[in-house]
Amino acid sequence: MSSARRPPSPGSSRATRRASRTRSSPGRAPASPSRAAAPSTPSEAIRDSAISADGSPPPDTRWPSRRDVPLRFGGRVDQPPIDFAERRASTAIREEVRRLLGVRNLYEMDRLHLEIESTIDGSLQETATRLFRQLGDQAFVDARGLRAEHLLLTGDPRRVVYSLLLFERTPSTNLLRVQADNLDRPFDINSGMKLDLGSTAKLRTLAHYLEVVAGLHQELAGLDPDALGRGTAVARDPISRWAAETLGKAPAMDLEAFLAQALARTYPASPYEAFFTGGGVHSFENFDPDDNGRVLQVHEALAHSTNLVFIRLMRDLVRFHEARLPYDTQAVLEHPDHPERRRMLEEMADKESRQLASPAAPPLIAQAQNHRLRR
């Protein structure tokens, strides 16, 4: 039984010849593999993606195996390694702007078009960064006499990390001029590290101590000896008592001499005492154990960085401020029914409640407003 076959149309014949030419070209991928070589059924897709155990292409494939089609990747531009130390200031500026604008990450920052003016001094920033790099060069260190005691006498200078945060004081504010370091890592020493600045705490304590003493001189100078004697008797802290006694002996002493006498006050450096601080009871040590048995003047303790002298000086400053509170601190602590104690507890409870409730306040206010609008 024969069946009639319809002769192919001219158009379909041309399409067949084009497909034959494409299939007969050995080792050549079609111009558009994703369309021309697409399998017509799911079984063909599985067959075309299969590779036999010996690595040969699957049998009976009409098109070259995907394994044989060469993969061409776009070239990658080789960039030099990032110099984190050189970009320290610009990175800090970007991070600060991101925080001020509330942008979530640096990826979103890169999508913003901004023009920013910074207080950073560009030339000074570059000079500081270059100097820090030079300090890692042994020849540079040797040429400038830095191979000395308490400097860079031993060790590898390349392993020393330097940082500088420089501000310029102006009539209105302090301007950041340099934020530099030599750590070639993303970590920023100046903004990302918490430092234990013990010796700077001594300097701040001394500055406050001299401010207190100068204020006492202004308050007591010019009083008659009887008034100074009464001031000595009623003084409730060591610094005020010392000030009244000193001016009682020399009423005409000027401020400069009075400050010199304040720096000559003595404190023991013994570490064998516990001190009550805001974090509980603590004990402290001196950097130099030879100071443990000494009694030092304040200016000597500053020169030797003797910890226990400044711990005791800070305790006297706390007592100075306590003595000037409008209530008796000892009575408030000892008597639970003291009226000032209740007032202070209510004030602290109100403050803590406001701090805890403030994050939840805006959503609650918005809900209340929406509720009123719906009603």
Distance CA 217, CA 197 (A): 31
Give the number of other CB atoms < 10 A from CB of residue 108: 11
What the block records as the tokens of 154 is: 């031993």
What the block records as the tokens of 161 is: 């990390």
The secondary structure of residue 290, as a DSSP letter, is G
Give the number of other CB atoms < 10 A from CB of residue 332: 17
In the chain, DSSP assigns E strands to 163-169, 174-181, 266-268, 275-277, 280-282, 295-297
Is 283 strand, coil or helix?
coil
Contacts of 316 (CB under 8 A, 6+ apart): 237, 238, 239
- What is the CA 237 to chain-centroid distance, rounded? 38
Distance CA 341, CA 332 (A): 5
Q: What does the pLDDT profile of the chain (375 residues) look like in tens digits? A: 444 444 444 444 444 344 334 343 344 444 444 444 444 555 544 444 444 445 555 555 555 566 666 766 666 666 778 889 999 999 999 999 998 888 888 889 889 998 989 999 999 999 999 999 999 999 999 999 999 888 888 889 999 999 999 999 999 999 999 999 999 999 998 888 877 666 688 999 999 999 999 999 999 998 888 888 888 888 889 999 999 999 999 988 999 999 999 999 999 999 999 998 877 888 899 989 999 999 999 999 999 999 999 999 999 999 999 988 888 888 888 888 888 888 888 888 988 888 887 776 666 666 666 666 555
As beta bridge partners, residue 116 has: none
Distance CA 53, CA 56 (A): 8
pTM of the entire predicted model: 0.52
Phi and psi torsions of 276, nearest 5°: -90, 120
Is 281 strand, coil or helix?
strand
> Closest by alpha carbon to 62, among 45, 76, 79?
45
Output the CA angle 347-348-354, nearest 5 degrees.
Answer: 90
Distance CA 111, CA 104 (A): 12
Distance CA 190, CA 163 (A): 7
Please report, for the chain, the start and end positions of each structural domain, with discontinuous segments joined by +.
88-192, 198-324
